[in-house]
């Protein structure tokens, strides 16, 4: 485990403390779960952006291949 020191906005800290009272969960566990969730979210966004980028790169080729298939089908 790593120890991290961080500064949290007062409003976020207050809201978190209220939630923790209701959840009866240690602050450390709550923050770890929040970071894990946010990391998964960010990884999905990065994958989505990469797929969009790659899709744009091959879209022109895809249309060319489709046109060739249409020509082939029309010849038969």
Over 80: is that where the pLDDT of 76 sits? no
* Position 23 in a domain: yes
Q: 44 lies in a domain?
A: yes
Mean per-residue pLDDT, 44-69: 84
Residue 1 lies in a domain: no
Residue with tokens 């020191």: 5
**Domain range for residue 57?**
10-75
For residue 46, what are the contacts with CB-CB under 8 A and spacing of at least 6?
none
- Our count of domains for the chain comes to 1
Is 2 within a domain? Answer: no
State the average pLDDT over residues 40-62: 88
Residue 27 lies in a domain: yes
Nearest Cα residue to 31 out of 58, 55, 2? 2
**Strand (E) or helix (H) holding 8:** none
Q: Is residue 62 part of a domain?
A: yes
Answer yes or no: is 3 within a domain: no
User: pLDDT tens across 58-74, in order?
Assistant: 777 777 777 888 887 88
Residue 5 lies in a domain: no
The DSSP call for residue 72 is H
């Amino acid at each position: 485990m790593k120890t991290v020191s961080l500064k949290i906005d007062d409003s976020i800290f207050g809201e978190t403390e209220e939630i923790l009272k209701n959840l009866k969960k240690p602050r450390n566990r709550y923050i770890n779960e929040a970071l894990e969730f946010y990391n998964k979210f960010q990884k999905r966004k990065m994958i989505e952006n990469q797929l969009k980028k790659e899709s744009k790169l091959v879209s022109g080729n895809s249309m060319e291949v489709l046109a060739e298939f249409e020509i082939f089908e029309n010849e038969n």
